[in-house]
Chains A and B, each alone.
Chain A
Amino acid sequence: MKLTVWTYEGPPHVGAMRVATAMKGLHFVLHAPQGDTYADLLFTMIERRDHRPPVTYTTFQARDLGSDTASLFKDAAQSAMTHFDPEAMIVGASCTAELIQDDPGGLAETMGIDIPVIPLELPSYSRKENFGADETFYQIVKSLSVAQAKTERITCNILGPTALGFRHRDDVEELIGLLSECGIDVNVVAPLNATPSDIACIPAAHFNVLLYPETGEAAARWLERTHDQPYTKTVPIGVGATRDFLAEVAQITGRDITPDESRLRLPWWSKSVDSTYLTGKRVFIFGDGTHVAAHARIARDEMGFEVVGIGCFNREQARNIRALAKEYGVEALITEDYLEVEQTIEALAPEMILGTQMERHIGKRLGIPCAVISAPVHVQDFPARYSPQVGFEGANVIFDTLVHPLVMGLEEHLLTMFREDFEFHDDAGASHHGGKAVERSETEIEEAVASSDNVVWLKDAERELKKIPFFVRGKARRNTESFAAERGLSEISIDTLYEAKAHFAR
């Protein structure tokens, strides 16, 4: 048993729902107790879908337990057939149904249904949502794809986008545009918006673009083995990654690819003088493995940040993230416990967090700016406006997203210059938040403040510390205290403060 308040991922059957809901003409019959239908609202509310997910639940109750649940499953499958008339069906069990050991696949087989019925194994007590999506998509591809001749023109499939995916909708659009500019047509995008008959056509493409390894890798590997389709290894998020991705495509297809970069604005924005203040901003990056890896590269190479820590919650990507951490000279944090993430962030004291919904809240609590770069996300990260992560427009979107939470150069300069100003001091609150400026109170700091390391701040030093702008004050305090502790000092004076500042200068 493990005590949990927040989970980064849902159970595997939610992953299966993400695939089913992404597709059209496919129906999912899920053996599950009453109440598991809560998952519908992830799709109808967070993603704002205008139809119910194509899922029929058996919703068994206590009185049904015993032999009755098997017939309940059959009735549900039958009524789904007549009500929705799908091209193909997937069947599986949620965590409770896994315990009562009805076999949905076997039961469906005995019913003589005349469409393909694909049984799913979803081990709810050892695996999670992303596994569920990956496995479901793989089983669907394996069951429905048909060996066939390759298309005359060079085409590819885009594998991995699902329902409830972070920016999947716009990433697909951006990627199709990018490939089309390079003269490559898209054969099938799957599972998002694909029908079972589309899945059948997947082997006609020359190669696959594996857009999200978390949800498409098993299928991509199988297609490579079985239908001789190589798949791309670089996820085109960020300028460098997009260029590498296109080079990979050029190599796979043997074509000369020269992308049109006229819309790409990140490099100039990042070079312009107002971005100088971004240099060496210390960032901590957490999320799913794919987005973390992409954003680490963007942060270091394209924004000029210093990456002070990276990590992911999905164990499937642990190996990649550990290797990457080594390359960046930082510790990798592989955990699904948000309290552990919070502790790490507190210890590292970054100036910015790139993370998920949870890190956004951790950032709020610790007073650290945060940008959301990965699922799980809330309703505001399924925006109405076009906001891809992928490709050149994706890079533009990411630049804006990463910079907005930070105090920009000129603003930072002004804040520092006027930090003693009577109406522009840091307790006044931001004017655009509708708060009324509070005049600085001139109360004396009465007591020397004891720090966690038993180092005492002298009054003058404490006062000097208060003059440092609030968004770097925490770091200054910690640096000074560790500087003092290392030297065995029991008191911090103004001199100690500035010696520490000099010591940590970069």
Chain B
Amino acid sequence: MNDLSPPTGGGCRNTPILKERGQREVFCGLTGIIWLHRKMQDAFFLVVGSRTCAHLLQSAAGVMIFAEPRFGTAILEETDLAGMVDAHAELDREVARLLERRPDIRQLFLVGSCPSEVIKLDLATAAERLTKVYAPNVRVLNFSGSGIETTFTQGEDACLASMVPVLPESNERQLLVAGALPDVVEDQMMGLFEQLGIGPVKLLPARNIDNNTTVGPNTVYALTQPFLGDTAAALDRRGARQIAAPFPFGEEGTTAWLAAIAEEFGVDRDLFDQVTAAPRARARKAIAQAAENLNGKSVFFMPDSQLEVPLARFLTRECDMTAVEVGSPYIHDTIHGPDLELIPAGPTISEGQDVDKQLDRVRNARPDLTVCGLGLANPLEAEGLSTKWAIELVFTPVHFYEQAGDLAGLFSRPLRRKSKLSLEAAE
């Protein structure tokens, strides 16, 4: 059904992984709230944490904070820590004030942070208690987005995993797609499933609580994002079964992802080709245009979102780049394996980080493009290296066929810009 062939000379699935420990220059899982709250329109995310947590959210959310965002921080004060007040009573009071002000909220997430985890504030019990108080109007759940437990996109994983146990049970044979996608991308995906005759399709997360997402022993699920390890485990516990596939980035990735699902649902090969032929051709054309100045260039991934492995696969195979190092905060063989298999052997595959050592490797290799966080991007540019800041890859629509050209464009733009700017005096 697809013509994906492993690279000659072998892929990277069996490459020994360089595991490093040291200073990690990454976001914590709280950051996931920034895009999750846009997706789940009736949810509010209440972080229980410190001023640092509130400051992080505001730094990451930028100007969005003024659009009456559906997230906030209950800041712990000295009296909460000294046991001078009952933290649970305090939390109940703040939740009551919040829900009074925002009666449109149907799902409330109590989000744990480093301080709340370290003082062992039992938010799970609080969530159960509050669910009883506010049922049936509001459902209260709990997950941790703390830096000590989660890295960046893992916050979404923790959130979705917290929803899985309370999903209604269904024995129906169905497809569940997990991972928050921009609405436009989600619509394209649903359109393709419809044309392929695959259904019913359920979404996690759904746009609101009333969407009938269910799970059960006859559910098969596919992940659209590579950072959903805990969610996958939670779905497995409900009896659902995962469809292993590379992630839907680029023409190849999207085709392979769809093909794995089509195969599961016994879709006829002719129908598959007929449905995908036109969008595949469009995607290939768009990539070819956008990736012109990527061909033959080298790329270095610093760890950030766990998207690094599938994106390295896209850039090496479809944009003809060479990977120097592919760093990821975590690598799970069951999830990242299919993509690693397709990356031509050669690059260092690294998990974790010791940022100063890794920066020394970047400086040695002098890659044409370094994918990294905003704390490192400008400093590396000042050293004459071109960078692509990684967080944009999480916010921008990049999945599936129609976005394949845009995805290549995100990487080629910094290189194009560099060649356009000529600020030195003329000879």
By a beta-carbon cutoff of 8 Å, the part of chain A in contact with chain B is 1-7, 9-11, 13-14, 33-42, 44-45, 48-52, 56-62, 64-65, 76, 79, 83, 94-96, 99-100, 124-126, 128, 358, 361, 365, 378
Q: How far is the CA of A34 from the CA of B304 in the complex (A)?
A: 12
Q: B374 contacts A44, CB within 8 Å? A: yes
Q: Would you call B424 an interface residue if the criterion is a C-beta within 8 Å of the partner chain's C-beta atoms? A: no
* Residue of B69, B93, B147, B377 touching A33 (CB-CB under 8 A): B147
Main secondary structure, interface of B, reads: helix
Q: B97 contacts A3, CB within 8 Å? A: yes
Among the stretches B74-82, B217-225, B235-243, B412-420, the one at the interface with A is B74-82
Closest to B359 in A: A52
Q: How far is the CB of A375 from chain B (nearest CB, A)?
A: 13
Among the stretches B110-118, B273-281, B305-313, B401-409, the one at the interface with A is B110-118
The residues in B between 230 and 256 inclusive whose CB is less than 8 angstroms from any CB of A are none
Q: A1 contacts B148, CB within 8 Å? A: no
Q: How far is the CA of A5 from the CA of B76 in the complex (A)?
A: 14
Q: How far is the CA of A192 from the CA of B374 in the complex (A)?
A: 23
Q: A40 contacts B97, CB within 8 Å? A: no
Q: Would you call B205 an interface residue if the criterion is a C-beta within 8 Å of the partner chain's C-beta atoms? A: no
The residues in B between 40 and 85 inclusive whose CB is less than 8 angstroms from any CB of A are 46, 48, 50-52, 54-56, 58-60, 62-63, 65-66, 69, 71-78, 80-81
* Residue of A5, A61, A124 touching B51 (CB-CB under 8 A): A124
Q: How far is the CA of A90 from the CA of B72 in the complex (A)?
A: 32
By a beta-carbon cutoff of 8 Å, the part of chain B in contact with chain A is 22-31, 46, 48, 50-52, 54-56, 58-60, 62-63, 65-66, 69, 71-78, 80-81, 87, 90-91, 93-94, 97-98, 114-115, 117-119, 146-149, 151, 356, 373-379, 381-382
Q: How far is the CB of B50 from chain A (nearest CB, A)?
A: 4
Known: A5-B69, A44-B378, A95-B115. A36 touches B54 (CB 8 A): no
Known: A83-B356, A95-B51. A33 touches B148 (CB 8 A): yes
Q: How far is the CA of A58 from the CA of B354 in the complex (A)?
A: 11
Known: A62-B117, A124-B51. A1 touches B91 (CB 8 A): yes
- Cβ–Cβ < 8 Å partners of A36 in chain B: 28, 52, 147
Q: How far is the CA of A107 from the CA of B206 in the complex (A)?
A: 49
Q: A49 contacts B378, CB within 8 Å? A: yes
Closest to A48 in B: B378
Q: A3 contacts B72, CB within 8 Å? A: yes
Q: A125 contacts B76, CB within 8 Å? A: yes
- Cβ–Cβ < 8 Å partners of B115 in chain A: 95-96, 99
Main secondary structure, interface of A, reads: mixed
Q: B374 contacts A41, CB within 8 Å? A: yes
10 CB-based A-B contacts, threshold 8 Å: A1-B87, A2-B75, A35-B28, A35-B147, A35-B151, A38-B375, A59-B23, A96-B118, A125-B78, A128-B51
- Cβ–Cβ < 8 Å partners of A42 in chain B: 59
- Cβ–Cβ < 8 Å partners of A40 in chain B: 25, 374-376
Known: A49-B378, A50-B379, A100-B118. A6 touches B58 (CB 8 A): yes
Q: How far is the CA of A52 from the CA of B363 in the complex (A)?
A: 15
Known: A40-B25, A42-B59. A10 touches B75 (CB 8 A): no
- Cβ–Cβ < 8 Å partners of A96 in chain B: 50, 52, 114-115, 118, 147-148
Q: How far is the CB of B328 from chain A (nearest CB, A)?
A: 15
Q: How far is the CB of A283 from chain B (nearest CB, A)?
A: 21
Q: How far is the CA of A96 from the CA of B56 in the complex (A)?
A: 14
* Residue of B50, B118, B147, B148 touching A11 (CB-CB under 8 A): B50
Q: B24 contacts A37, CB within 8 Å? A: yes
- Cβ–Cβ < 8 Å partners of A65 in chain B: 118, 148
Q: How far is the CA of A95 from the CA of B77 in the complex (A)?
A: 11
Closest to A62 in B: B148
Q: How far is the CB of B274 from chain A (nearest CB, A)?
A: 45
- Cβ–Cβ < 8 Å partners of B52 in chain A: 10-11, 13-14, 36, 94-96, 124
Q: How far is the CB of B188 from chain A (nearest CB, A)?
A: 32
Q: A35 contacts B26, CB within 8 Å? A: yes
Q: A361 contacts B66, CB within 8 Å? A: yes
Closest to A124 in B: B50
Centre residue among A1, A6, A76, A365 by max chain B CB count within 10 A:
A1
- Cβ–Cβ < 8 Å partners of B87 in chain A: 1
Q: How far is the CA of A60 from the CA of B80 in the complex (A)?
A: 23
Q: B77 contacts A6, CB within 8 Å? A: no
- Cβ–Cβ < 8 Å partners of B376 in chain A: 40, 44, 52
Q: How far is the CB of B63 from chain A (nearest CB, A)?
A: 8
CB-CB nearest 8 A-B residue pairs: A35-B147, A35-B28, A40-B375, A50-B382, A96-B114, A95-B50, A41-B374, A34-B147
Q: B147 contacts A52, CB within 8 Å? A: no
- Cβ–Cβ < 8 Å partners of B374 in chain A: 40-41, 44-45
* Residue of A33, A38, A51, A83 touching B114 (CB-CB under 8 A): A33
- Cβ–Cβ < 8 Å partners of B149 in chain A: 61-62
Q: How far is the CA of A36 from the CA of B378 in the complex (A)?
A: 19
Q: How far is the CA of A158 from the CA of B414 in the complex (A)?
A: 40
Closest to A127 in B: B51
- Cβ–Cβ < 8 Å partners of A33 in chain B: 28, 114, 146-148
Q: How far is the CA of A365 from the CA of B63 in the complex (A)?
A: 13
Q: A37 contacts B65, CB within 8 Å? A: no
- Cβ–Cβ < 8 Å partners of B30 in chain A: 35
Q: B119 contacts A99, CB within 8 Å? A: yes
- Cβ–Cβ < 8 Å partners of B75 in chain A: 1-4
* Residue of B50, B60, B90 touching A38 (CB-CB under 8 A): B60
Q: How far is the CA of A357 from the CA of B339 in the complex (A)?
A: 44
Q: How far is the CB of B373 from chain A (nearest CB, A)?
A: 7
Q: How far is the CA of A41 from the CA of B61 in the complex (A)?
A: 13
Q: How far is the CB of A192 from chain B (nearest CB, A)?
A: 19
